[in-house]
Amino acid sequence: MPPLLDVRNLTTHIRTGRGTVRAVQDVSFTLEAGETLGLVGESGCGKSMTGLSLLGLLPPGGTLVEGSSVRLDGRELVGLPDRELRTVRGNDIAMVFQDPMTSLDPTKTIGHQVAEPVLLHRGVSRAAARERAVEVLGLVGLPQPRRRLSDYPHQLSGGQRQRALIAMALANEPRVLIADEPTTALDVTIQAQILALLADLRARLGMAMILITHDMGVTAGNTDRVNVMYAGRIAESTGTDRLFSRMRHPYTQRLLASVPRLTQDPALLLPTIPGLPPDLADPPTGCRFADRCPYATARCRAEEPQLDGTAEHRFACWHPVDGPAPAEIGGKVADAVAGAATGGGEGAAATTGLAEGPAAAGTVVRPRAPEPAAAAAPLLEARGLVREYPLRGSWLPGRDRRVVHAVSDVSFTLARGETFGLVGESGCGKTTLGRLLVGLDRPDAGAVTLEGTDIGTLRGGELRRRRRDLQMVFQDPFSSLDPRMRVSAVLREPLRIQGIGTAREQRARVAELMAEVGLPERGLDLFPHEFSGGQRQRVGLARALALTPKVIVADEPVSALDVSVRAQVLNLMKRLQAAHGLSYVVISHDLAVVRHLADRIGVMYLGRLVEVGTAAEVHRRPAHPYTAGLLAAVPVPDPAQERAKRGAGIGGELPDPAAPPSGCRFRTRCPLAQERCAREEPALRSFGPGHTAACHFPLVAPAADSPSDVAAGRP
């Protein structure tokens, strides 16, 4: 009997203005019913295009090259006329896409969109299609599915929308489901729910699944076999357990090593993969990974390795490795700083994205003299911060004043040279808090003080001068740089606004900044779109550094970046901090990132800081059930660990911040909630030095001498 899905020599070319992009090259694999195959790799490695090629959904200019074969149950799909291929799409093979926010038509009801494929392929009546829609919406766990039918996409949360999209894909009980980064746009808590749902549905319906993801943690817990893709080709293909413990391809090894983990020693730099994937319009001869591979030899550059090995484990490499890299491979943060100060070395080399390598770093690092006298007092302090946004129309008479409680009574301190990490699900108010901290927004109550000065009372020129000390790095390196400004202008603008230095000094400073973030000086004449995402984020960091600030608030600084590039930027942030004595507030939904960067962590839930403590403490013995749930939801790149915890984690979704629950705001999702939690709002209690949490029924015993109203977050 032929395999359910048999893909052979799949090769996709896309004609573009720059030439022919070889997006997918010679990809072969099989898939059986009930099995999940992972397609893993960085963006641009061809994993999504492989999924789309299976369905014949190619972008303009795309073609499947002669010799490509996709057989479903022995039936060849390549070369089928479009009319016949359409009967396969959404019927035999269905697809779920990455972004639930944009994957639903905003002008059509959920019912219409879910019933559409049923109506199309099953030839049933409208009423029957609607009934089927109710059925599948229930199957994917959408509450009150019948009422959802007449809802429009914007009335659903992100998690609910992804459920609706999965329902749409499952409506005709396809035999193969292609899930393309189905949880990348979701919070970790919702991600865990959706992944558990997919696994459950696959088992119940006996589907085969292709899970496309860049996340090694997601791969570990949710796949049976994995194809690691690099530059359009399969680099390594084997069972999931074997891949994580006995990988042979250096790319797999490095990719896995560069993932920040909760258990990792933060004093070590993350191992990175230097450079960028090759341009697929002009792929190199020989091994495509050779330029970034530490083991590459002349043979790798001349001769392309074929996918070879046993049936259980195939890989394409001339110099295979044997198992994971040691943790110390990235080197220590302290060494990297020292290395940079003495003129290049590992730190600079590891973090340099362009081939130019270690720019003359020794001449540019300007460590600020430490100020021991002031070290005792906090550098930045937030006291009782409240920020509420009135909903539209609430000023009209006869209406209740409804407000969104974005930030409610948040207090914490930041010491000189310290990193404070803020974590929480999207919508918990962490970005609003970040904006309050740098004075981009003013609190409705409470104050932010920098070295004792309340920045909320500053106006005009005084405020402008003070802004030098508070800078921000944004999440999206694409939209946070003006596309019409050259990088030199982007970096010079802060100096101009602040009137610092002559034109010549400004130019010199800008050149310094480029070297400091590991970009070549010739990059100054380029526009932002000429850089990769990681390089743009380096420009964002350089801009924030231009005024030698005391505090940098980084809002999701690496969320938009690929794993290997993420590691480069995280290392850079650590090196810059050590070199300049910077203080960071790092805002992220990714606990592993925060754990890697932060000295102390604050966990936010619905506008409140529910737990604060040192990173190690919060990780080792979380007191608040929400913290514990968040930690459990983080996917770990370890198959055994991941499978063991399937289904654990926090249920439900973030409540409406305009109508937060009474008492403890987390009680509606808390497994330990009791009647008292609804009645009484828990105060912050001490759980050891510098460790506070607000919970009536904490997971660990509070400190014996704990007064019930310790100041929040003060170490």
Partner 1 sequence: MTAYLLRRTGQAIVVVIGVMVLTFALIHLAPGSAARATLGTKATAERIAVFNAANGLNRPLAAQFATFVKQAAEGNFGTSYSLHEPVSTLIAQRLPRDAVLLGLSTLLALLVALPMGVYQAVRRGRAGDHMLTVLSFVLYSMPDFFFGLLLVALFSVQLHLLPSQAPQAQSVGGVLADPKALVLPVVTLALVSLASFSRYMRSSAIGVLAQDHVLVARAKGLPEHLVLRRHVLRNALLPVITVLGLAAPAIVTGAVIAESVFNYPGMGLLFYQAATSKDYPILLASTLVVGVATVLGSLLADIAYTLLDPRIRYDRG
Binding site for partner 1 (CB under 8 A): 55, 57, 60, 83, 86-91, 94-95, 97-99, 102-109, 116-117, 120-121, 152, 154-155, 165, 168-169, 391-393
Contact by Cβ (8 Å): 240, 542: no
Quick one: 96 or 481, whose CB is closer to partner 1?
Answer: 96
Listed as own residue / partner, the contacts of 342-351 with beta carbons closer than 8 Å and 24 or more positions apart are 347/269, 347/571, 347/575, 348/518, 349/274, 350/269, 350/272, 350/274, 350/568, 350/571, 351/272, 351/518, 351/568, 351/571, 351/572, 351/575
Residue 98 or 413: the one with the smaller Cβ distance to partner 1 is 98
Residue type, 333: V
Give the separation between CA 276 and CA 242, rounded to whole angstroms. 27
- End-to-end, the C-alpha distance of the chain in Å comes to 66
The answer to whether 20 and 281 have CB atoms below 8 angstroms apart is yes
CB 37 within 8 A of CB 63: no
Residue placing its CB nearer to partner 1 in the complex, 376 or 396 = 396
The nearest distance, CB 89 to partner 1, in angstroms, is: 4
d(CA 184, CA 16) in angstroms, rounded, equals 28
Pick 84 or 328: Cβ nearer partner 1: 84
**C-alpha torsion angle, residues 635, 641, 647, 653 (rounded to 10):** -30
88/359 with CB nearer partner 1: 88
Q: Which residue has the tokens 């044997």?
A: 322
**Distance of closest approach, residue 231 Cβ to partner 1, in angstroms:** 23
State the DSSP code for 711.
P
Q: How far is residue 166's CA from residue 156's CA, in Å, rounded to a whole number?
A: 14
Nearer to partner 1, 105 or 462 (CB): 105
Assign 483 to helix, strand or coil: coil
Smallest distance from partner 1 to CB 120, Å: 6
Q: How far is the CB of 214 from partner 1 (least distance, A)?
A: 17
Q: Which of 558, 518, 577, 567 is nearest to 327 (CA)?
A: 567
How crowded is the C-beta side of 28, counted as CA atoms within 13 Å?
A: 13
Read off the tokens for 637: 């790149």
- Closer by beta carbon to partner 1, 14 or else 307: 14
Residue with tokens 């009967």: 87
Which residues, in sequence order, are bridge partners of residue 412? Answer: 382
Instruction: Between 169 and 541, name the residue whose CB sits nearer to partner 1.
Output: 169
Shortest approach of partner 1 to residue 327 CB, angstroms?
38
Give the C-alpha separation, 367 to 694, whole Å. 39
| Phi and psi, residue 8, nearest 5° | -130, 130
Query: Whole-number minimum distance, CB 139 to partner 1, in Å?
Result: 17
Question: Least distance (Å) from partner 1 to the CB of residue 10?
Answer: 17
Q: Which two tokens stand for residue 461?
A: 């020129």
Which is nearer to partner 1, 121 or 292 (by Cβ)? Answer: 121
Nearer of residues 210 and 552 to partner 1, judged by Cβ: 210
Element housing 594 (H / E): helix 591-597
In the bound state with partner 1, the residue whose beta carbon lies nearer, of 91 and 535, is 91
Of the candidates 613, 534, 615, 544, the one whose C-alpha atom is nearest the C-alpha of residue 583 is 544
d(CA 710, CA 686): 7
Q: Which is nearer to partner 1, 81 or 461 (CB)?
A: 81
Of 576, 82, 678, the residue nearest 364 (C-alpha)? 576
Nearest distance, CB of residue 401 and partner 1, angstroms: 13
Whole-number Å distance between alpha carbons of 544 and 574: 15
Q: What is the phi-psi region of residue 331: left when phi exceeds 0, alpha when psi lies from -120 to 50, beta otherwise?
A: left
Closer by beta carbon to partner 1, 120 or else 262: 120
Q: Which is nearer to partner 1, 122 or 643 (CB)?
A: 122
Q: Cα-flanking dihedrals φ and ψ of residue 455, to 5°?
A: -70, -15
CB of 62 to partner 1, least distance (A): 13
Q: How far is the CB of 257 from partner 1 (least distance, A)?
A: 32
Q: Please report how close the Cβ of residue 118 comes to partner 1 at its closest, in angstroms.
A: 10
The DSSP letter of residue 478 is T
* Phi and psi based region of residue 248 (left: phi greater than 0; alpha: psi -120 to 50; beta: remaining): alpha
CB of 109 to partner 1, least distance (A): 8
Q: Where are the alpha helices (DSSP H) in 55-157?
A: 82-88, 110-122, 126-139, 145-148
At closest approach, how far in Å is the CB of 657 from partner 1? 17
Q: Find the shortest distance in angstroms from Cβ 98 to partner 1.
A: 8
- Considering only CA atoms, give the Rg of the chain: 26
| Distance in Å, CB of 400 to partner 1, minimum | 13
Q: Are 426 and 589 in contact (CB under 8 A)?
A: yes
∠ at Cα 30 (24, 31), nearest 5°?
Answer: 115
* Closer Cβ to partner 1, 95 or 582, answer by number: 95
